[in-house]
Amino acid sequence: MPKRCELPACPVETSLVLLCDKWKILIVRDLLTGTKRFGELKKSLVGISQKVLTQHLRLMEKSGIVRRKVYAEVPPKVEYSLTNLGLSLKSIHDALWQWGEEYKENQESAE
């Protein structure tokens, strides 16, 4: 993850740097419905490895999109939620959802 001073000048490119793959967008999707534990995210994100999920959550936490809360319990309990910055991605998520729905409808009607 580039440091703040290393972010691209183009705002679209900055957005892509921060949300560059499907897993990050799907993590946002899952956290838009509320706080989740690691296992809940792993179960929802079919095909993601534990290592990749951990890496993405750490990067998203570092960039200020995700909040990680650790409870002092044994075994440790960790919860993830979106920060206000992360919640601001809702309109982007909704636009992607709508576009995907329209695309699928157009594909089905073209067949």
Which DSSP string corresponds to 3-59?
Answer: -GGGS-SSHHHHHHHHT-SHHHHHHHHHHTT--EEHHHHHHHSTT--HHHHHHHHHH
Query: Residue 70: what pLDDT?
Result: 95
Query: Residue 13: what pLDDT?
Result: 87
Give the CATH number for residue 25.
1.10.10.10
Query: Residue 2: what pLDDT?
Result: 45
Instruction: Tell me how many domains the chain contains.
Output: 1
Query: Residue 32: what pLDDT?
Result: 97
Q: Which domain holds residue 29?
A: 4-110
Kindly give the parts of the chain with pLDDT less than 50.
Answer: 1-3
The contacts found for 91-98 with CB under 8 angstroms, 24 or more apart, are 92/15, 93/25, 93/28, 93/29, 93/32, 96/25
